[in-house]
Amino acid sequence: MDNLHHIVVVGGGAGGLELATRLGNKLGKKRKARITLVDAGLTHVWKPLLHEVASGSLDANANEINYRAHARKHHYEFQLGRMDGLDHNAREVIIAPFHDEDGDEVVPERRIGYDTLVIAVGSTANDFGTPGAQDHCLFLDSLNQARRFHNLMLNAFLRKNHEAQSGSGHELPITIIGAGATGVELAAELRLASRELPIYGMNHLRPEDVSITVVEAADRILPALPGRLSEAATRELDHQNVRVMTGEPVSEVRDGVVVLKDGTEIASEMTIWAAGIKAPAFLATLDGLETNRGNQIKVKQTLEATTAPDIFAFGDCAECPQPQSERPVPPRAQSAHQQADTLFKTLCHRLEGREAVPFVYNDHGSLINFSRYTTVGNLMGNLSGRSMYIEGKVARLFYLSLYRMHQVALHGVVRTGIIWLMDRISRAMHPRLKLH
């Protein structure tokens, strides 16, 4: 290998892939630096869309990006593997052995040297140690989990449709634990599925036979968002016949039952955990890095690790301070997008011996999409700082633009336009729900 400055980005999520793409186009193409992206999967799907993959309203195969093909087009290298450790003194990332589906080792443990390391491994669900959660809940942290959920959902609908046809009990109770954006949007997607699947032959199972309950420990759903948005979301869920239970945390999850702290038991044949996130546990064991109780790497406002000037972290896996605020940058997709942009400038400056760029988070508002029914949200004014409430088609347009912005960052305007056209054609030719 040559002596080019080696920038290693671990994590090919929204922020990590955007950063690697821009660095490859700017530095890798001109041979100013060598860029390597490391990820445990072969493909990328925008994480805010995983609940749509789970419900079947989005075909992941048509929306995923192959890392190897993307790396070739954008002048960076791709390494398949899961980060398992860090040798800070040797400046090496330790990659765990890679095994196939049968458990056989394909590639042994290896090490990747770096001059600058960027960690962007995202987050996983936080079950807060709730008894039974790991054994009896489904999670939506990854594409594989979303696909597994989709298969289980189709099988459950098929089983209940057969039971209804034979005249036996056929109610399908579904419980979503956590009423943040993912939980609320998933509830709407599942309600759509319960109404759409009978069109494709499951006509013995009625939508009202599928009961959907959303449980939230806080006193309202979407507790991190403005109250008006929470009220609008509650009204929409009620309109879609989704039961909302707030003010009581879950104390235990059993096979077929969700138990609340006050002793209330909720029948549940499919239980989805969507409450809270935490950074991956291995981050707390990394050599020379400071982490918080949620395993997040503590970084300065420049996104530089507090204890390592050659290591940066951003996105859900990092605790980044906000100026004039006691709270760190919130773990949201728009945060990762903005941090990737700032870090791109910093890493370019770093090669030129210039100062790092401090990160300043700009909250552009929040949008909650209720499948094909409606969208509600608030947009922040850049000048006044006030928020503007929007809903319906206008809000839906803004919501869709978020994903298109991510695609533009990865593919450019022209290719994103082509992808949009192909999406329109695909929706016209294929069923509204993925049926397999």
**How many other C-beta atoms are found inside a 10 Å radius of the C-beta of residue 137?**
22
Of 276, 301, 325, which residue sits at a domain end?
276
pLDDT tens, 196-212? 877 777 778 888 999 99
Examine the domain organization and report whether 146 and 271 are in the same domain.
yes
Name 115's bridge partners.
Answer: none
- Reading the block at residue 365, the tokens are 């508002």
CA pair distance 65, 252, nearest whole angstrom: 38
Instruction: Identify whether residues 149 and 224 lie together within a single domain.
Output: yes
Shared domain check, 250 and 200: yes
* Same domain as 262, residue 145: yes
Q: Does 244 share its domain with 200?
A: yes
Same domain for 250 and 165? yes
Render 387-402 in DSSP notation, one character per residue.
EEEEETHHHHHHHHHH
CB distance 10 to 120 below 8 Å:
yes
CATH number at residue 171: 3.50.50.60
Tell whether 84 is covered by a domain.
yes
Asked if residues 44 and 65 have their Cβ atoms less than 8 Å apart, the reply is yes
Task: Identify whether residues 247 and 170 lie together within a single domain.
Answer: yes
Q: What pLDDT shows up at residue 220? A: 95
- The answer to whether position 434 is within a domain reads no
Look at residue 341 in the predicted model and tell me its pLDDT.
96
Total domain count for the chain? 3
Provide the pLDDT for residue 204: 84
Cα R_g (the chain), whole angstroms = 22
Question: Which pLDDT value is given to residue 384?
Answer: 44
Q: Residue 299's domain spans which residues?
A: 6-123+279-351
Q: Is residue 190 a contact partner of residue 212, using CB atoms and an 8 Å limit?
A: yes
Residues 239, 285: one domain? no
- In angstroms, the CA 110 to CA 79 distance is 11
The low-confidence residues of the chain, meaning pLDDT below 50, are 382-384
**C-alpha to C-alpha distance for 388 and 370, rounded to whole angstroms:** 19
Q: What is the pLDDT of residue 375?
A: 83
Q: What is the pLDDT of residue 131?
A: 97
The first and second tokens of residue 150, run together, are: 């989709």
173 in the same domain as 86: no
Q: At how many degrees (to 10) do helices 413-429 and 393-411 cross? A: 130
DSSP SS3 for 298? strand
SS3 assignment, position 383:
coil
140 and 270 belong to one structural domain: yes
- 210 shares a domain with 154: yes
Q: Domain end: 351, 384, 413, which one?
A: 351
Give CA–CA dist 380/362, Å, rounded: 9
Domain end position, chosen among 316, 351, 386? 351
* pLDDT value of residue 198: 76
pLDDT score, position 406 = 86
Residue 193 lies in a domain: yes
Q: Please report whether residue 378 resides in a domain.
A: yes
- Residue 382's pLDDT is 47
Same domain, 104 and 71: yes
